[in-house]
Structure 1
């Protein structure tokens, strides 16, 4: 027992048991304090009592439950011992056996044996079904698996009557649980197997029948299921990243073709599914005329089920299912579903085929894939025999299927594949043409920004002579010589090679289309002509954009602070355009695409009958070449103007003119200038130096004319602005300089400005003297120009008539037919070598 709590004693109160005494001896505050302390002690004791009682109570309850359980178990053991003793009593056993034998008759014995066999047949049928279903699924016999499941369900639901099978034999329920596990598997695998197109219509009809048997589908539901599964298969195939493009296209084509054929044969032409349903409901085993029970025919003979199945109830042995088929499908509804399905397929492929075809990154691979697709379509449309997974059978042709189901001829190539293939071919062309058009921004721009081409832009390539007499070495030397003559140094060759290689790669790839241009299957000739036209126009646009890119680079050079480097880079860009226009063989080939075997003919005719587009593009490149020299021409003209102004300013144009010391008697005691002043000739020579620096052989007639025109305008403006103090002698020398510069730059043709300058200068010369000087003036200038031919180079080439006349006159007077004299010949031996000038003076 628990101990009672002890009450604490208060030190201030001696008589706790007597309240009266407490009130007499203690104050009010002490009484209240004792009251509060007493109440707190009471509460504490209550809590302690509750805790102690609760713990012991639980222990007490547990002990009581254990005692009761021990009592029950002890009585059960005693009962078992008693029953064992009774059961093992030999005399009792003998008495009961004798009583049973005496009471049993033959009829009762047969009935019990029949019940036993019926139970054995039930258990045997359920025990063998899982293995049979498993083998059926492995062999893709989904209708057989469905029949096995239906029989097993029928056996399980049968009431034996004489015994509660579920209670007497729990194994039956466990076996049924194992069988019912196959129901979703059969439905799932049947649906998945519908995705495979390469099977016969009979096989597809059996799979759809199994879905009707197990999943309760009707005719309409089966067709919707078939079309939905095939659409999902097509969608998975177009979205797959694991398969190659040819396999994807083959599977898609087969899925579309076989789906339409299956729908036509199963639902419209000869309703296979309706026949299968009728046979299943009549005999449970389609195509069988046997009189054996259905359950016996379903099971494999190796199981020996037929020995026990005869003991099952009659309703199990003669079981045939009843299917809810719904309303029969009308031909119009079938065609409507098929047409809607094929339209959905077209929309699906329209959105995915372009992405799929990106695997074909060249025209060669695209054409190979297209040819395989054509072969597949031709074989499918012409052959009526198909190899299925299960068997081979003769079915409806593609033409018959389309006319019966779609009510019109239908071509998969024309309606689904042709446009995406042609679009991708054009896309390949556009992509490569865009890469070609971007070369000025990607390839040339980097060199321009890095000024890589400046040091070698005007370089005349040094040519090493061939060290051997082999044909390869000689051909290499000839090519190097040709490139040097055309100004095609290494950078220009590399850049032009990149241009030609891009065009050649595109052309060689697109030429694979031309190999089929003579064939007209699947509108091949029309598509090839369209692609050829697109290629030629795209190449023309790309080359035009390439030229525009070069012009844009020329425009960017105006922002350079280094004018000389900018001009050199501009000339480099211009000569690149010139080299492409003149020597590129791929440019005309790309714009006149044909079969590879005709290239030699085109090359022979290229100079005779060029395509107008080729002429236009070459002219655009030549115009770019001319435009590239505009800034350089302005720079040369500006420098020439400054040099001419400086040369004129440094000379005195009075009687003290230094050039007058070199005047020569031209006859009749007439002294006239025989050469220009040094400053003027130096200004002209600087122009020649610049021409040599930029390799004047690469300057065509148009550029030289533009240069001379600009120099002529600069010359005229310089002489017009030059206002020196002139005497007659200075005016004569100045007019000679004007004649000389005009002869060099304008071939002796005077502009109105120059005429005015000369007339203004003549005002300082006596008219009578000028009349004497004038007949000798122009021949003297011409002779001086002829003498300067080797020094001044290309600028001193006058017209042929003047050149020939002056050359003959000079040759006759000097009797030196093989020497062009640079100055009048002096006597070989004199006292002083320069005395002849003073004597003649």
Structure 2
């Protein structure tokens, strides 16, 4: 200790260390010199000058300290007395000393000036440091004095270096070396424990901690055994080495650290089976947890990991929740708001946590045939020797084969640990293999694992419903299902667990697909309602061209772009679609209403086809079940479409003013719906399809009936029989009647049934019948020859239709009898009217019945040729020619 004190004093004086370096010097030198005094072999306890400096030199080389012994310096002459200066030195030497002193004084003065002016703050800090150094130096001096007194009071100093050690000295040295090895392990344990914890080697850390605890007990016990030779040497470790207890206080804190870190490590679902088993063994050794509790810890920590994964929220749902594009015209919106890849990754990550936890728990706790579980084998290998094991230790993974010797070999400076006793070098943590804490009932394990598996799968299914809500396309949902199914099939679960997970994902997918289809049907219904209201309301109604006009109106030729080929293809597709609409008589306004429903049905059909093509054969009944679950929504849509059309028709019928154009559009709409494949494509049953077509056909008849009433009353009111008396002989129908018949033909063309001859014939007959009845009623009020001829002309038309017009023929016959005074006159008028019909059959061909059979030999005039000997008369009464008309001798002009 005197050597140690003198070293500190020399370094403090000669090296002039600062406060920070002195404090670090105190700590390092106190520990190292203290250890050197007790642990360096063959240390001398004599305090002779040369031996002291040799020892200091050796210590300085060992601890990299430069020690300078006190010697005389050249500037000592500057410190002599003035009398001695003039006595012992010459005048020239005295002058030299004077000059040096003066220069030194000037330099000190300048330095003091700079210090006060520019380094005032440094001076204050230096003064504080100097005071602290002084206090530390006094404490060091006091400690040196105490150490010197202790050394002097000791007796029996060891022999000098030159004397060889005998057997007693060897035993004493060995005792100190063993004691040093114990303390070395205890001192190095914190550093190694931190390193093992950082590398997540929790089992090795627990083993080292237990070994350090055994070493500490060996140091503080006072039993005189062979394992504690220092007790027989009179060394009291607790009293003479308080560092041991303080070091153990530091090491003992690592127990809670290891338990906490290892518990958190169980949350890593990606950890290997060996690492997880080592972590569970760590909890069993350090925290004394039975295997049941270790299983519960594993499942609970993995549940927290799964919960954090399931709480994932897509980026698109963090901000605007309405970012998803609303579908339009039955089209499903793109799933750009929530990428499918993100949802797929989240689904796979959550399922991987479930599958890996289940497989890891089985690999660790499940018994494999007659072989015990992995964790039990690891505990057996820890407690028993390799010769006593019922299995080959080499069967265990390298990470789980651990011993004290291999652990000490991995540590730095492991050569010092060879001095440890054999029972420490072969130390094994205690494991009670006969206790219930080291056993696990197989049925209990299987039940707890299956409960956790089903609960976790249900939570995964609940989270999947939220994630799937952002997918708006059936193809995305089905592709995600396919990807997740592949991951499930390669997960390593057994068949029952796979079936349970597959059923869960199928339920989620089917539920989402039904939701997408129902949303598409709801949007189509809402848009259809808006479109039909806009198309039939008087404020926004635009008159469509008649179907014949629309048929022969060429669509605009597309303007091709040279920059983009895809754009050109799109333009040609639109051009082709316009031609198709013309061929079926689908006007733009009508197509705008019907395409809403037809595009929705087309999208659903494409989705069903995609599901069938990309589904596995074993799961085809699920596809059928998907259609069955969706079918009520399709029936509901068909019923709602019928209700919307019925409400619109009722509004027209109950309205005081009805537009024939709007009624004609409604008729064309119902006619197109009754023949459209929309109701079949959306997946309705055959019975629902029949009911829908019947309901729509009934509404079509209702709309046509109202349309007939409107146009017949309007035409009759505009061209009703006149009371005017004609001076000339009546040889044709009145212009009012002929204009009325042509107006009826034109109105019928606006109904748009020119493509169905049978349907057109029915509409023509019903409309013409209503007109004839109303005209006959009005004609009965006016008695003149023109009205009589008109009635006779209409009687000839009704006679062409045969028995189906018997009622109308009777009404006309009654009117003719009433207005005609004699039968001869009436027969003459009927003959003239019959001949007039033959001349007008081409102009009124759309109102007359078609021939029963068409052939190439049939005459052009199906009702016969008019008489040739009759003089030509204009069919219509025209205006009289102008006086100048005769001057235009066009026929006499020579070419």
Alignment pair present for 1:241 and 2:316: no
Distance 2:522 2:838 in 1: 53
8 Å Cα contact 1:187-1:214 kept in structure 2: yes
Give per-residue Cα distances to partners, 1:664-697, cap 9 Å, x unaligned.
Answer: xxxxxxxxx4333444445445434544666674
- Given that 2:475 and 2:610 are in contact with CA atoms closer than 8 Å, whether structure 1 keeps it comes out as yes
1:303 aligns with 2:401: no
Q: 1:756 to 1:83 in 2, by over 3 A?
A: closer
- Note closer, same or farther for the CA distance 1:120–1:589 as it changes in structure 2 (3 Å cut): same
1:205 and 1:273 in contact (8 A); partners too: yes
Q: 1:455 to 1:140 in 2, by over 3 A?
A: same
How far 1:331 moved relative to its partner? Answer: 2.8
Q: Determine whether 1:784 maps to 2:859.
A: no
**Aligned equivalent of 2:521:** 433
What is the CA-CA distance between 1:627 and the residue it aligns to? Answer: 4.5
Residue number in structure 2 paired with 1:22: none
Contact 1:457 1:568 in 2 (8 A): no
Could you give the per-residue CA deviations for residues 305-347 of structure 1, whole angstroms, max 9, x where no partner exists?
Answer: 3424635796797463356753733333223323333332344
> Could you tell me how far 1:446 is from its partner in structure 2?
5.0
Q: Name the residue aligned to 2:494.
A: 398
**Aligned pairs for 1:88-103 within 5 A:** 100-101=157-158
Give how far 1:651 is off.
0.5
Superposition deviation, residue 440 in structure 1 = 0.5
Q: Contact 1:142–1:210 at 8 Å: present in 2 too?
A: yes
Contact 2:642 2:696 in 1 (8 A): yes
- Which consecutive unaligned segments of at least 5 residues does structure 2 have? 1-135, 223-230, 315-340, 561-567, 887-895
Among 199, 209, 222, which residue is 1:149 paired with? 209
Q: Which moved more, 1:487-496 or 1:311-320?
A: 311-320
Could you say which residue in structure 1 is the equivalent of 2:486? 375
1:552 to 1:651, Cα distance in 2 relative to 1, 3 A: same
1:808 aligns with 2:864: yes
Q: How many residues align?
A: 674
Contact 1:486 1:579 in 2 (8 A): no
1:218 aligns with 2:290: yes
RMSD, matched Cα: 5.3
Q: In structure 1, what is the equivalent of residue 65 of structure 2?
A: none
Task: Verify the 8 A CA contact 1:516 1:525 in the aligned structure 2.
Answer: no
8 Å CA contact 1:736, 1:781 repeated in 2: yes
1:569-625 deviations in whole A, cap 9, x for unaligned?
44334434544655x6777666599xxxxxxxxxxxxxxxxx787676566555555
Alignment correspondent of 1:9: none
Structure 1 unaligned segments of length 5 or more: list them.
1-75, 382-396, 403-408, 594-610, 653-657, 664-672, 834-841
1:275 equivalent in alignment to 2:377: yes
| 2:664 equivalent in structure 1 | 571
| TM-score (norm. length: structure 2) | 0.62
Q: Which residue in the other structure is 1:411 paired with? A: 499
Is 1:525 matched with 2:628?
A: no
C-alpha distance in structure 1 between counterparts of 2:838 and 2:649, whole Å: 38
Please identify, of 144-153 and 436-445, the stretch whose mean Cα deviation from structure 2 is larger: 436-445
Q: 2:553 is matched with which residue? A: 463
Of 847, 862, 872 in structure 2, the residue corresponding to residue 795 of structure 1 is 847
8 Å CA contact 1:117–1:311 kept in 2: the answer is no
Q: Could you say if the C-alpha distance between residues 442 and 541 of structure 1 is closer, same or farther in structure 2, counting changes exceeding 3 Å? A: same
With 778-787 and 103-112 compared, the bigger mean Cα shift is at 103-112
Secondary structure at the aligned position of 1:303 is classed as coil
Correspondence for 1:491: 589
Contact 2:612 2:620 in 1 (8 A): no
CA contact (8 A) 2:748 2:764 kept: no
Q: From the superposition, tell whether residues 524 and 328 of structure 1 become closer, same or farther in structure 2 (CA, over 3 Å).
A: same
1:674 aligns with 2:720: no
What secondary structure is seen at the aligned counterpart in 2 of 1:736? Answer: helix
Are residues 302 and 580 of structure 1, via their aligned partners in 2, closer, same or farther at CA, if it must alter by over 3 Å?
A: same
Instruction: Tell me the equivalent position of 2:875.
Output: 822
1:732-747 correspondence runs (5 A):
733-741=786-794
Query: Which of 466, 488, 496 matches 1:355?
Result: 466
d(CA) in 1 for partners of 2:840 and 2:426?
128
Aligned partner of 1:716 among 773, 778, 790: 773
CA contact (8 A) 2:207 2:429 kept: no
The residue aligned with 1:187 is: 259
How far 1:110 sits from its partner (Å)?
A: 6.0
Kindly indicate whether the alpha-carbon contact (under 8 Å) linking 2:189 and 2:212 is maintained by their aligned counterparts in 1. yes
How far 1:524 sits from its partner (Å)?
Answer: 2.0
Q: Return the alpha-carbon distance in structure 1 between the equivalents of residues 575 and 405 of structure 2.
A: 96
Give a deviation string over 1:611-663, Cα, whole Å, max 9, x none: 7876765665555555444443332133134346xx33x406xxxxx14x343
Identify which of 270, 273, 276 aligns with 1:204: 276
Structure 1 counterpart of 2:132: none
* Separation in structure 1 between the aligned mates of residue 597 and residue 535 of structure 2, nearest angstrom: 15
Q: C-alpha displacement at 1:113, in angstroms? A: 4.7
The partner residue of 1:129 within 189, 193, 200 is 189
Note the alpha carbon deviations across 1:756-787, whole angstroms, 9 max, x for none: 56436525644xx31x2454443422333444
| 1:814–1:168 distance in 2 versus 1, CA, 3 Å | farther
